[in-house]
Amino acid sequence: MDLFNIINAIIVSVGIPTIIIGLIYIGRKLQVLDDLEPIRKNFAVIESRVSDLWQDRVAPAHSPRQLNERGELILKKSNIKEIVDDKREILLKIIREEGVTNPYDTEETILSVMANLSDHCPDIIAKLKTGAFNSGASIDDVLLVGGIYLRNLIFLELGFKIEELDKPRP
């Protein structure tokens, strides 16, 4: 029994400090994660601003956002106009199912649906890639242009006027 007690004492004397050191280490890691919260918030603001700058390349940030010369060129050369016209009813149904009730959220929903167009209409992926290549734009640019075109096409049908986007969000 003496050997057993000695081994047990060694295990306890080594194990307890190891557990304490491990807990301290974990606590410090969690503290570091808490310190990252302000960084996460700042990153979200920066991400939003970068997104606005990206969108400004094809549709300057005037309310309501409309296509500029580059955006119009993408609309023509990428064939996104034809894709949107062809998928109009499907897209309109998806947007209506979201149940949006104000112009701001409606516009956001339209742009989101267009940003995920390949999820809703997987048959258009090859056309999107070809259109992006032909227009010298990224697929994201083509989808943004298509989103603004779709918004202008169906906004009134959804019960809103484009001018209402200038009004404060309720």
**pLDDT per residue over 19-41, tens digit each?**
888 778 877 777 766 666 676 67
**pLDDT band at residue 15, thresholds of 50, 70 and 90?**
confident
What is residue 115's three-state secondary structure?
helix
- Find the DSSP H helices in the chain: 2-35, 37-56, 69-77, 80-97, 103-115, 117-120, 125-135, 139-154
pLDDT of residue 160: 83
Angle, alpha carbons 35-44-51 (nearest 5°): 155
CB 104 within 8 A of CB 112: no
Q: How far is CA 69 from CA 56, 73, 92, in A?
A: 11, 6, 26
Q: Which two tokens stand for residue 145?
A: 């242009």
**pLDDT band at residue 134, thresholds of 50, 70 and 90?**
very high
Q: How far is CA 102 from CA 61, 87, 108, 166, in A?
A: 20, 23, 10, 12
Q: How far is CA 26 from CA 12, 38, 124, 135, 166, in A?
A: 21, 21, 49, 52, 50
**pLDDT per residue over 58-115, tens digit each?**
776 666 788 889 899 999 999 999 999 999 999 999 999 999 888 889 999 999 999 9
pLDDT at 139 over 80: yes
What whole-number distance in Å separates Cα of residue 18 and Cα of residue 20?
A: 5
pLDDT of residue 108: 92
pLDDT at 57 over 70: no
Q: Which two tokens stand for residue 109?
A: 């929903």
